[in-house]
Amino acid sequence: MKGTFKKIGIVGFKEKSADLACALNQIALWAVAHPQVKFFALDSLSGLVQKPIRVVKEAGLRSVDLLLAIGGDGTVLSAAHIALGHSIPILGVNAGRVGFLAESRVEGLAKTLDDLLAGDFSTRDRMMIDASVFRGKKCVAKQTVLNEVHIRAHAPDRMVNVNVAYNGTDLTEYWADSLLISTPTGSTAYNLAAGGPIIHPSTPAVVLTPVAPSSLSVRPLVLSLTDKKLEIVSAVGRSLDLVFDGRITVEAKPGDRVTLVESKSVTTFIRMRHTGFVGALREKLGWTGKPRLA
């Protein structure tokens, strides 16, 4: 892919990171020295960017060759939804806290851009989930998610009570504060905080994690979605709130059926040569092995 990045988009949010201005300044300086590469920033960054970076609306980023997501994992998720359906790879630049989806840091961003121009990188595809809500035979809502579908009771003071079927066979009834269905990418997000397992990004599976279940015997469950389908309905005829990637909420009415399948779409991430998922676990989670002797 050497030399293919002629147009690079930038996604970020002013209030999210103190390092954002530093990153944009580095990009502007690099862009002046490399006029063959054009940069376009999302209009949420208006007032922070410097020439020769141009400010465009979200639609203007869908024709770039690469998206730089500068911030935390939420910023990377926003970039993933911009890229959806347009086959645009994403490089996350960590200007947040943990940043599992960010391959690079603000420090040394100019070197990262040099490596991109030289083709010194690889790509990794991450699976996504297509979630659909059916009212009878009619599909009334559909979303594609990179992280998770979060199922909550529509009434804020109630627990969620749902029946789940796996590929046409009844699986179980969940009664919990809420239920997460996470991709491998999402396994290091809310799923991890809720006590779910970390899944390697190349594993074609999802994890069902009940949040604060009523029964101690209910544990997170990892299932393949390859040519398989999950179906979820309210067990008590009540409305459900479906939260997609923490961004969009859709209400499923009583009797609606929610189906989850592996999407044909993927999110493509740029991976720099010196980074990797295992290294990210050690660095971002502080995995240091056995205690050191004093």
Residue positions annotated with a catalytic role: 73
Of the candidates 107, 79, 81, 110, the one whose C-alpha atom is nearest the C-alpha of residue 92 is 79
- Inter-CA distances, 267 with 8, 100, 277, Å: 17, 15, 16
Backbone angles phi, psi at 48, to 5 degrees: -105, -30
- Which residues on adjacent β-strands are paired with residue 97? none
Q: Rounding to the nearest 10 degrees, give the CA dihedral for residues 205, 211, 217, 220.
A: 10
Q: Are 57 and 32 in contact (CB under 8 A)?
A: no
Instruction: Determine the Cα–Cα distance for residues 234 and 252; give it in Å rounded to an integer.
Output: 9
Beta strands per DSSP E along 199-247: 205-213, 221-224, 229-234, 240-244
Residue whose structure tokens are 């961004």: 247
Q: Are 148 and 88 in contact (CB under 8 A)?
A: no
